[in-house]
Chains A and B, each alone.
Chain A
């Protein structure tokens, strides 16, 4: 089974022209937060919390732990807001990197090993959207990413999914997929390069 195919995508019309204003806006909010502006941080929270929490929840799975981790993530973003370096990538990407790292640290810690999957209920379909124009934009983004993922080989997609959304190391991924050691890291890298090139990711 390919877990990425579980995400249903709402078909839509034309490509959205959005994107130009939002990243700049997030960077601006981050810069204001760096000066101790709490209302700017509240705005930032509203803009990105679903992205950050959703990713943490997907990796950590346990809802209570996911909340804890997300809380830590936001505190780290607040503390390090002045350290964000726009030359290395977009603000959202920076925040997601922090979220992913913390989520992965949580699932790899010994304590979490006990709890893992325990509290994970039946629902894997908690992809929720507000019925606003923002949600439409998000769906278009999701569709774009889905299309890009389809350009990966099944093997690349599987390895990338276990690593990024599963939080497993490439060695664990190799073992889970019964691959020779070293193959998984190549698949992850090749998959990411293809994803990057298809999405036209620029820094």
Chain B
């Protein structure tokens, strides 16, 4: 994920982007599962603030709303399957309109009325469109027939990225976040059913010179098993090696290059799964 655009997630979550920035960020969002998870969680946090501004509306409003809805037909659910998230590789170009996405909603909704649907559809269409373009270049292609429409779907060729995407989208995912005094943060997402954990870092400082960050999974006896070495870079999405389903926690230590068999220093962060 690009460092610069990723930093817009907070402003996006509180509708503090102008139209151009929003369009740009949404293009990025369509292909960045880590950003999607972050945005969802930041939106949830922001909306909590509304408990501070409660105000009872006039009774007449209730009557107006209830009179209005009697004349409005609720839209059908979106039936297009979620696209495979794909990497953000190139500047988006106008792409062919995927028939399945538009076919699902023939309703001519007013632009002001339909914004949320628009935002969600944008994610969906953009993802599909990008997938379609990548198909031309990439080798692995799957053809799916859905309700009479044929949809091209790019199959993610990076297995680690695919696992990370699945964990971040898993129904049983849980997360544990840590913030560091320098403003960086790390979140470990775990899906018990997928047996996997993923760490998402944001603005992590470089490890001390000649050292690396090593990841660990802790088993119920307290033993730490290596879960691999973090790649360099401040913003990472890394799948922890090993089975995370029975782990009671994860940790990060500073180790010599290549990593160690056992932690040789105190962890800089511990994530409890309890």
Contact = CB atoms under 8 A, between A and B. Distances in A.
A4 B51 CA distance: 12
A20 interface: no
B195 interface: no
B7 A71 contact: no
A97 B179 contact: no
Contacts, number: 230
A201 interface: yes
A93 B43 contact: yes
Interface residues of A, number: 88
Interface in A41-84: 41-42, 45-46, 49-55, 57-58, 67, 70-72, 74-76, 78-83
Contacts of A195: 45-46, 48-49
A199 B48 contact: yes
Interface string B30-45: 0000000100111111
Contacts of A38: 66, 69-70
Given A67-B61, A145-B52, A79 B75 contact: yes
Nearest to B17: A169
B135 to A, nearest CB: 26
B160 interface: no
A58 to B, nearest CB: 4
Given A34-B74, A169-B17, A194-B179, A188 B45 contact: no
A197 interface: yes
Q: What are the 10 tightest A-B residue pairs by CB atom distance, in nearest-first order? A: A189-B10, A196-B45, A54-B55, A53-B57, A163-B16, A96-B47, A82-B77, A58-B53, A54-B54, A170-B11
Interface of B: 7-11, 13-18, 37, 40-58, 61-62, 64-66, 68-70, 72-78, 109, 112-117, 120, 169, 171, 173-175, 177, 179, 183, 185, 202
Given A83-B120, A97-B43, A97-B116, 15 more contacts: A70-B57, A70-B61, A83-B116, A87-B171, A89-B43, A90-B44, A104-B15, A148-B48, A160-B14, A189-B11, A191-B10, A192-B46, A193-B202, A199-B45, A203-B37
